């Protein structure tokens, strides 16, 4: 699938679980997405800022909630300082009662539970992008 500009969907993905990281990055690549990935929150934020400096944007950002460095919520808060439009979702293995509230604070489009059907994530992102 392509974005509105006719380019591959560009995704920033961050997760510190090595197995999930490998599976999800592979699923995005097989779906034809352009994916940048990090295993730490601060590295994800650096990738985001580097893209913005090059006048590039992500179509979608998928962040693990609990990561070394900055957690997913902190990364999203930093992104929202400069960017209110990029779609952000959280990915978590924790049953966190406040997850939905914390997601609303940064205007995230969802909180997805692990273990999800990891190979279905590209389709889930396409569905969100098509709905907006």
Q: List pLDDT tens digits, range 5-54.
A: 777 899 999 999 999 899 999 999 999 999 999 999 999 999 999 999 99
Give domain 10-131's CATH architecture.
3-Layer(aba) Sandwich (3.40)
Domains of the chain, by residue range, sit at 10-131
Q: What is the 3-state secondary structure (H, E, C) of 58-75?
A: CCEEEEECCCCCCCHHHH
Select the more confidently predicted residue: 7 or 79: 79
Beta-carbon contacts of 106 under 8 Å, excluding residues fewer than 6 positions away, are: 73, 76, 77, 79, 80, 88
| pLDDT greater than 70 at residue 115 | no
Tell me the mean pLDDT in the region 90-114: 74
Residue pLDDT, tens place only, 55-64: 999 999 999 9
Average per-residue pLDDT for the chain: 86
């Amino acid at each position: 699938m392509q974005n509105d500009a006719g380019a591959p969907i560009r995704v920033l993905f961050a997760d510190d679980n090595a197995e999930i990281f490998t599976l999800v990055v592979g699923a995005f690549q097989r779906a034809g997405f352009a994916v940048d990935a990090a295993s730490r929150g601060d590295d994800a934020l650096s990738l985001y800022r580097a893209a913005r400096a090059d006048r590039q944007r992500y179509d979608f950002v998928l962040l693990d909630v609990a990561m070394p460095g900055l957690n997913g919520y902190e990364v999203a808060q930093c992104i929202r300082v400069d960017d209110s439009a990029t779609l952000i979702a959280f990915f978590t293995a924790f049953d966190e009662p406040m997850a939905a509230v914390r997601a609303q604070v940064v205007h995230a489009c969802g909180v997805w539970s692990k273990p999800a059907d990891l190979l279905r994530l590209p389709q889930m992102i396409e569905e969100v992008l098509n709905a907006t």
